[in-house]
């Protein structure tokens, strides 16, 4: 019969008491309750076990072959290793003991708990999770020490949401006698979850338990600062100083460094500035430099600029000069940025990226020759930098670069002067177009025959377009009703866009499987109500200036082409969105190239159900961040889309490939080549169309019934492999799906005096969703050149629709470009938790993404 005294005994408990989070776990091993359990664990042996005596257990282990005595010897060896603090070796011995299979019942369970404690003491979180997670999942009762050990292991793996309930319940169960290490672990979890207030409270609790430790005071004060409890932090500092803990300047500097390290550089910088000003810590070159670095880390541009200038008086630091120049760039003070970059180069930072930054500063001032000189005078750099420099040199030597730089400079000067002129009109951005002869009746009233967002509610005469019911309808997965191909296309010519007729001519094997139409788009009620309210208040002042609208579609009874396009721009697509998709160029022979992953993050400010922006106060329509990976020449762009171009045009920042900098650019767009598209796709083709309307005269040509790509769930959900989809000429017809729907037709003709690669464009806009679904792009000679096809799908979870994937066919050279394609990519996320305006500040993007 095995008694409690045969167990691991107090040696393990004593050795592990100091280990993180498991003292109580192993102390419990020697409890009377376990002794009682062991008394019930009786083994009947065929013969008495050999005498073990007081011989060395390691030597005996080599002689003993019976499983049960071996288990006892291994357990004794584990106790010896644990007493010496060698927990990993002790755990190995217990593993071997359990492997003998000689123990059963509660004895084996108790040993497994000991093993979990030893693994926790060994500092291996994976081992702890492997031992204790099965207990949690099975619903078995766990002791407070076991919960604390598992929670701490989760925390070390940054699984904070799982760690929180484990540690919280362990701390509550322990009460006033809780182990300090448990409190510190719970504090770390709250910090990891961003709950600074809870972390600060726990730091105070630790301080009350261990006031004799200097570090407890420093931790508590630092966390109060981060939680913005400055008064309490100051009181703690005074108490600590009275006890002689912060009497020396270096002790205060230790607090500053700790405060910065836990993620509160603003509070650290504020303290350091105050202490330098009141003489608490003497000013020195090192501390002035630290102050500049802290303000930079806190993203306080104005304060950082002042501190950097002060530090530069002590010594010339090329890195600080570059950082100062970047601040000036962010603030659009390009002349100051140019001088700072020049000083950095003179001080020895002669890298290719600094010369590129200098070129950008000069470009922003419309100094094209100076920008070219900066590029040519710098070192060659790596392959990516050389490629970037060549592409920018080519661009800067084009007339388009000079035109855009001059335009941006004029706009900045007008803004700085507060010019009341209609800048958009003065720069050629007015709009002229034909209005519809008939104005529809007000939407949302009974009997008017329109949906709440302005579509015709009724079906068509022959029933091939059903009526809109206001209920979400799932698209049928049945076989197509018929297929349109090159042989029978003439029969359906009146319902085919010219782009499809061109596709049949270019690709005789192209075909369009047509399914029964389903009007699946139903927007949230708040969008419906706001759209009706916009009837009386929304208006355009110039093509690129919207006023009066709020939340919903601004023009549900459009009378101009620009009004239709504004509906597309401002359509509801969730408060926020995050997705990763694939883009690829398919050559005429079927070979693929330029395959990239595009990552997108979007935060709506205008069409935001929780907090719609007021255009009178907030000029931003949406924030958009995208970056590309997979080529080695990764690229990032940040966009703040605006409603009133007169007040401020869209703001754009980019990180070019190979350059760890974020640059503010003029309002680019138009026919700038989209990254990774090999020239097939321009920036203003993204989302079917985006950006300013000033280069075209827009005309609303009415409505048509057309076959358009619709409700292709399989394509949207990534059911098909890339090798199935990416075929020569076009996507294979068997993966396509078309329905008959009514679309608005908008024609855009190049405005005299402006330049764009496309002389004319025709947009087809789905009436139910206001998404552009097809675009025909014509060259300057009037020939159809590129045909965009957006596969529209409805997302019932957020009640929004968008086009993904989008295919752009070049009808001249046989290539095509696919973007927003889901093949091996995760499902898009909408209404992303925690995403906010601060995530799209240039400083935040630079800190998180630019490396």
Please state, rounded to an integer, the average pLDDT across all residues of the chain. 83
**Residue 118: its pLDDT value, please?**
65
More confident residue, 403 or 795: 795
Q: What is the mean pLDDT of residues 292-309?
A: 88
Tell me the pLDDT tens digit for each residue of 67-121.
877 877 888 788 787 777 777 777 778 778 878 877 755 666 667 666 666 665 5
Tell me the pLDDT tens digit for each residue of 497-523.
999 999 999 999 999 999 999 999 999
Select from 242, 300, 293 the least CA-distant residue to 272: 293
Q: Is the pLDDT of residue 54 over 70?
A: no
Rounded Cα gap, residues 687 and 690, in angstroms: 6
Q: Is the pLDDT of residue 418 over 90?
A: no
Q: Contact, 740 vs 495, CB < 8 A?
A: yes
**Fold of domain 316-419:** 1.25.40
Select from 23, 24, 28 the least CA-distant residue to 9: 28
Q: Is the pLDDT of residue 840 over 70?
A: yes
The mean-pLDDT minimum among 520-524, 647-651, 783-787 falls in: 647-651
How many Å separate Cα 487 from the centre of its chain? 47
Q: Contact, 212 vs 179, CB < 8 A?
A: no
Q: Could you tell me what percent of the chain has a pLDDT over 70? A: 83
Token pair of 673 as six digits:
């080549």
**Residue 124: its pLDDT value, please?**
76
Helix (H, G, I), strand (E, B) or coil at 224: helix
Q: Contact, 546 vs 560, CB < 8 A?
A: no
Residue 777 — pLDDT band, cuts 50, 70, 90? very high
**Residue 157: its pLDDT value, please?**
86
Q: What is the mean pLDDT of residues 688-715?
A: 95
Residue 123 — pLDDT band, cuts 50, 70, 90? low
The mean-pLDDT minimum among 378-382, 414-418, 524-528, 607-611 falls in: 414-418
**Residue 301: its pLDDT value, please?**
82
Q: Could you tell me what percent of the chain has a pLDDT over 90? A: 45
**Residue 396: its pLDDT value, please?**
79
Name the β-bridge partners of 456.
Answer: 450
Q: Which residues contact 214 (CB under 8 A, 6 or more apart)?
A: 240, 245, 251
Residue 666 — pLDDT band, cuts 50, 70, 90? low
Q: Please report the sign of the dihedral spanned by the C-alpha atoms of residue 17, residue 23, residue 25, residue 27.
A: positive
Cis peptide bond upstream of 805, omega within 30: yes
Say how many Å lie between the first and final Cα of the chain, rounded. Answer: 65
Q: Is the pLDDT of residue 18 over 70?
A: no
**Residue 238: its pLDDT value, please?**
64
Rounded Cα gap, residues 502 and 267, in angstroms: 64
Q: What does the DSSP 8-state code read for residue 1?
A: -
Please report the DSSP string for 268-326 in residue order. Answer: HHHHHHHHHHHTSS---HHHHHHHHHHHHHTT-HHHHHHHHHHHHHH---HHHHHHHHH
The mean-pLDDT minimum among 260-269, 527-536, 779-788 falls in: 260-269
- What is the reported pTM? 0.62
Q: Which range has the top average pLDDT, 19-28, 298-307, 715-724, 837-846?
A: 715-724
How many Å separate Cα 304 from the centre of its chain? 27
> Cβ atoms within 10 A of the Cβ of 579, count?
19
Q: Is the pLDDT of residue 538 over 90?
A: yes
How big is the CA angle at 402 (ends 397 and 406), to the nearest 5 degrees?
165
**Residue 273: its pLDDT value, please?**
92
How big is the CA angle at 627 (ends 545 and 570), to the nearest 5 degrees?
25
> Cβ atoms within 10 A of the Cβ of 645, count?
24
Helix (H, G, I), strand (E, B) or coil at 599: strand
Q: Contact, 253 vs 260, CB < 8 A?
A: no
**Residue 13: its pLDDT value, please?**
35
Tell me the pLDDT tens digit for each residue of 127-178.
788 878 888 888 888 888 888 888 988 988 889 889 999 999 999 988 888 8
């Amino acid at each position: 019969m095995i008694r409690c005294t045969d167990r691991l005994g107090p040696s393990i408990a004593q050795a592990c008491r100091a280990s993180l989070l498991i003292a109580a776990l192993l102390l419990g091993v020697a409890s009377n309750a376990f002794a009682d359990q062991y008394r019930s664990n009786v083994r009947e042996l065929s013969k008495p076990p050999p005498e073990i005596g007081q011989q060395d257990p390691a030597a005996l282990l080599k002689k003993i072959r019976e499983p049960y005595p071996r288990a006892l010897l291994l357990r004794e060896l584990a106790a010896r290793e644990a007493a010496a603090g060698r927990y990993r070796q002790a755990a190995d011995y217990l593993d071997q003991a359990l492997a003998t299979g000689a123990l059963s019942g509660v004895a084996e369970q108790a040993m497994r708990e000991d093993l979990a404690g030893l693994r926790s003491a060994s500092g291996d979180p994976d081992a702890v999770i492997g031992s204790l997670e099965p207990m949690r999942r099975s619903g078995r009762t766990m002791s407070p020490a076991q919960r604390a050990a598992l929670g701490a292991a989760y925390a070390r793996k940054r699984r904070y949401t799982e760690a929180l309930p484990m540690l919280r319940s362990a701390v509550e169960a322990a009460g006033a006698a809780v182990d300090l290490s448990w409190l510190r672990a719970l504090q770390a979890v709250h910090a990891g979850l961003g709950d600074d207030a809870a972390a600060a409270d726990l730091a105070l609790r630790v301080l009350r338990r261990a006031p004799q430790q200097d570090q407890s005071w420093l931790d508590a004060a630092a966390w109060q600062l981060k939680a913005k409890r400055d008064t309490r932090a100051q009181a703690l500092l005074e108490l600590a100083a009275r006890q002689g803990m912060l009497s020396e300047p270096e002790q205060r500097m230790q607090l500053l460094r700790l405060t910065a390290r836990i993620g509160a550089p603003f509070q650290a910088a504020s303290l350091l500035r105050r202490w330098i000003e009141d003489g608490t810590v003497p000013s020195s070159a090192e501390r002035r430099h630290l102050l500049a670095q802290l303000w930079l880390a806190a993203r306080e541009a104005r304060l950082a600029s002042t501190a950097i200038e002060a530090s530069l008086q002590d010594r010339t630091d090329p890195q600080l000069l570059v950082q100062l120049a970047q601040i000036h760039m962010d603030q659009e003070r390009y002349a100051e940025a140019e001088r700072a970059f020049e000083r950095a180069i003179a001080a020895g930072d002669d890298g290719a990226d600094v010369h590129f930054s200098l070129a950008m500063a000069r470009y922003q001032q419309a100094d094209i020759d100076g920008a070219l000189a900066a590029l040519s005078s710098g070192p060659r750099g790596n392959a990516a930098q050389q490629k970037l420099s060549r592409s920018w040199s080519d661009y800067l030597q084009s007339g388009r670069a000079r035109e855009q730089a001059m335009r941006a400079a004029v706009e900045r000067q007008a803004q700085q002067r507060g010019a009341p002129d209609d800048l958009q009109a003065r720069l050629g951005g007015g709009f002229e177009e034909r209005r519809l002869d008939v104005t529809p009746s007000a939407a949302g009233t009974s009997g008017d025959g329109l949906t709440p967002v302005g579509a015709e509610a009724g079906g068509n005469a022959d029933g091939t377009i059903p009526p809109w019911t206001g209920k979400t309808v799932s698209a049928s997965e049945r076989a197509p009703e018929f297929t349109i191909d090159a042989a029978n296309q003439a029969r359906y010519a009146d319902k085919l866009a010219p782009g499809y007729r061109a596709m049949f001519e270019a690709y005789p094997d192209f075909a369009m499987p047509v399914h029964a139409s389903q009007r699946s788009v139903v927007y949230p009620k708040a969008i419906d109500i706001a759209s009706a309210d916009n009837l009386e208040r929304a208006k355009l002042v110039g093509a690129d200036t919207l006023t009066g609208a709020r939340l919903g579609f601004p023009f549900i009874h459009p009378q101009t082409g620009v009004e239709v396009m504004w509906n597309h721009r401002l359509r509801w697509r969730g408060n926020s969105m995050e997705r990763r998709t694939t883009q690829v160029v398919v050559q005429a022979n079927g070979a693929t190239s330029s395959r990239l992953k595009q990552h997108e993050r979007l935060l709506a400010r205008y069409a935001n159900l929780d907090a719609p922006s007021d255009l009178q106060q907030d000029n931003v329509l949406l924030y958009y961040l995208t970056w590309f990976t997979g080529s080695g020449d990764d690229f990032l762009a940040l966009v703040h889309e605006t409603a009133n171009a007169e007040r401020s045009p869209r703001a754009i920042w980019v990180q070019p490939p190979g350059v760890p900098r974020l640059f503010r650019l003029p309002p680019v767009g138009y026919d700038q080549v989209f990254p990774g598209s090999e020239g097939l796709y321009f920036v203003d083709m993204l989302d079917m169309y985006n950006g300013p309307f000033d280069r075209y005269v827009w005309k609303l040509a009415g409505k048509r019934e057309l076959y358009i790509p619709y409700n292709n769930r399989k394509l949207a959900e990534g059911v098909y492999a890339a090798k199935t989809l990416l075929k020569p000429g076009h996507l294979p017809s068997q993966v396509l799906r078309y329905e008959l729907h009514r679309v608005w037709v908008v024609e855009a003709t190049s405005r005299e005096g402006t330049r764009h690669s496309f002389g004319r464009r025709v947009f087809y806009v789905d009436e139910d969703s206001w998404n552009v679904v097809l675009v025909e792009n014509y060259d300057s000679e009037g020939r159809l050149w590129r045909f965009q096809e957006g596969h529209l799908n409805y997302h019932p979870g957020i009640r929004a629709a968008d086009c993904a994937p989008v295919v752009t066919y070049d009808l001249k050279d046989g290539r095509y470009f696919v973007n927003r394609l889901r093949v091996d990519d995760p499902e898009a996320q909408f209404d992303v938790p925690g995403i906010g305006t601060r995530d799209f500040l240039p400083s935040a993007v630079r800190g998180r993404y630019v490396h």
